[in-house]
Structures are given as C-alpha cells and as structure tokens.
C-alpha cells in the first residue's frame, strides 16, 4: 500500500495478446480485470468508442473499456511495462458495500458486459462464462436487493443456466450464516475485511515511514563520512 518494494505483479490469463471476444470471455468467466492505468488507447479508437458514461457510479471504467475493445482488433500485451497501483481496500471507488446506487450501477454494467460479449460471440462457452459472472457477483446484491437478484436469476435462465440462491459464502462466513442467518453473515462479510484492510494499511504506513527514516539516516552518515 505504501512500500513500492513490496509490490507484487501477479500474472493472469489476460496477460497476453487477445481478441476482443476472448479478452471479455476471460474477464467475465474468471472474474479478472485490468486496472485503468494499464491501457494505452489511440485517439482514433477513443473517439470511436464514445464518451465515458457519467450516469454510472461503479464499474464505469470496465464498461468504457468494453466499448474500446468492441471497436478494436484486440489487445497487445507488453510484459515489460509496469504501473504501480496503490491498494486502498474499502475506501476504493470500486467498493460496493451497501450502497443502493452502486449496486444498481454494478448490475447495469454487468448487463452491458454480457450484451457486449454476446454481440461478438454467442456460443455455449460465452453463455456459461456469463452465468458464472452473474454468480460471482450475486453476493454483492443478496439479501439487500432481492429485486436485482431476481433479475440476475432471470438473465441466467435466458443464458441457459441457473444461479445458486442464496449464494454460497466462503467458509469464513458460512458458520455465521448457519448460526445467525444471511443478513448478519453479509454484515460480517463487509465489516471484517474493512477492519483487516485498515490494520494492514496502518501497519504498512508505519513500516514505510520507518524505512524512509532509516534511509535518510543512512544517507546522512554516508555524507558525513565522505565529508
């Protein structure tokens, strides 16, 4: 979060040259993404893709780069290029939480992602990836927005699949669901990671300051010896 020396570049299946359909298929089916700063887009392609959708409050960047991909011949991946992205946890704009506006924006973007991919290829593998995409994000809406859950389930059926409702929680929260119900498990799922992120961020900041001071002292000693 603060110490660039601890950065981790973890390869994904998007780290290669891909056609627009294959890129979107992997993104949706494997729940992957490319951070905004990694994209290099020509002015010509930007103009063809159209403007940023300011009506969206979440995943607006994902929706935009979908349109960029749709109007391109595909991606060219450059492994030598690096960008540093500071992790911000629950303070991130992409954090859904319990915001009604963000949930609605997220589902709208999901619908657009699916329609964009199907406009390029409407095969069995594409429909399966789209169903998996809906299932992966279902916990973001359940149980606060059952209307969106119902729409997602209906969309999955049109794709030839079926969503698991209620969605299955990881083992870390499943015991809370079994003992106290889904609403409390959902609160824990939102609250515990925020606490964890806050502690990690604070600790990393302290270590960063300590390392900076140590470096400064080391530089001063070197200067005195040279002098």
Average pLDDT over residues 84-88: 75
Half-sphere exposure of 125 (CA within 13 A, CB side): 8
> What does the alpha-carbon distance between residue 1 and residue 4 come to, in Å, rounded to a whole number?
8
Unique residue bearing structure tokens 């279902």: 138
Asked if 66 and 59 count as a contact pair (C-beta separation under 8 A), the reply is no
pLDDT in tens, 11-48: 999 999 999 999 999 999 999 988 889 999 999 999 99
> What does the alpha-carbon distance between residue 144 and residue 154 come to, in Å, rounded to a whole number?
18
In a 3-state reduction of DSSP, which class is residue 75? strand
Predicted confidence (pLDDT) at residue 211 exceeds the cutoff of 70: yes
pLDDT band at 201 (very low <50, low <70, confident <90, very high): confident
The residue that leads in pLDDT, 202 or 226, is 202
pLDDT of residue 175: 76
pLDDT band at 171 (very low <50, low <70, confident <90, very high): confident
pLDDT of residue 197: 81
Average pLDDT over residues 44-68: 93
Asked if 64 and 52 count as a contact pair (C-beta separation under 8 A), the reply is yes
Predicted confidence (pLDDT) at residue 218 exceeds the cutoff of 70: no
Average pLDDT over residues 89-110: 75
Sequence length of the chain is 227
In a 3-state reduction of DSSP, which class is residue 63? helix
* Across 2-16, 51-65, 111-125, 165-179, least confident range: 165-179
> What does the alpha-carbon distance between residue 209 and residue 104 come to, in Å, rounded to a whole number?
40
> What does the alpha-carbon distance between residue 19 and residue 176 come to, in Å, rounded to a whole number?
43
pLDDT band at 224 (very low <50, low <70, confident <90, very high): low
Question: Which value, in Å, is the radius of gyration of the alpha carbons in the chain?
Answer: 21
Predicted confidence (pLDDT) at residue 89 exceeds the cutoff of 60: no
> What does the alpha-carbon distance between residue 96 and residue 105 come to, in Å, rounded to a whole number?
10
pLDDT of residue 116: 97
Q: What is the DSSP string of 129-158?
A: HHHHHHHHHGGGTTTT-HHHHHHHHHHHHH
Predicted confidence (pLDDT) at residue 113 exceeds the cutoff of 90: yes
> What does the alpha-carbon distance between residue 110 and residue 128 come to, in Å, rounded to a whole number?
14
Cα–chain-centroid distance for residue 133? 12
C-alpha distance from residue 113 to each of 182, 188, 192 (Å): 28, 29, 30
Listed ranges 90-94, 123-127, 138-142; the one with the highest mean pLDDT: 123-127
């Amino acid at each position: 979060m603060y110490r660039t020396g601890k950065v981790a570049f973890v390869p994904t299946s998007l780290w290669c040259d891909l056609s627009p359909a294959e890129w979107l298929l992997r993104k949706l089916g494997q729940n992957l993404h490319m951070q905004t700063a990694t994209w290099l887009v020509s002015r010509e392609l930007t103009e063809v893709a159209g403007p940023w959708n300011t009506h969206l409050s979440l995943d607006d960047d994902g929706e935009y780069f979908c349109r960029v991909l749709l109007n391109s011949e595909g991606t060219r991946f450059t492994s030598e290029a690096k960008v540093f992205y500071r992790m911000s946890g629950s303070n991130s704009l992409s954090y859904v939480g319990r915001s009604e506006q963000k949930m609605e924006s997220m589902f709208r973007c999901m619908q657009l992602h699916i329609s964009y991919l199907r406009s390029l290829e409407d095969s069995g593998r594409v429909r399966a990836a789209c169903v998996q995409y809906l299932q992966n994000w279902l916990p973001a809406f359940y149980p606060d927005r059952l209307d969106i859950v119902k729409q997602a389930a209906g969309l999955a059926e049109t794709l030839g699949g079926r969503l698991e409702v209620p969605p299955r929680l990881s083992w870390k929260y499943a015991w809370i669901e079994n003992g106290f119900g889904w609403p409390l498990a959902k609160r824990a799922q939102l609250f515990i990671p925020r606490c964890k992120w806050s502690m990690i961020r604070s600790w990393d900041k302290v270590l960063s300051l300590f390392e900076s001071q140590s470096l400064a002292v080391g530089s001063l000693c070197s200067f005195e010896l040279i002098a």
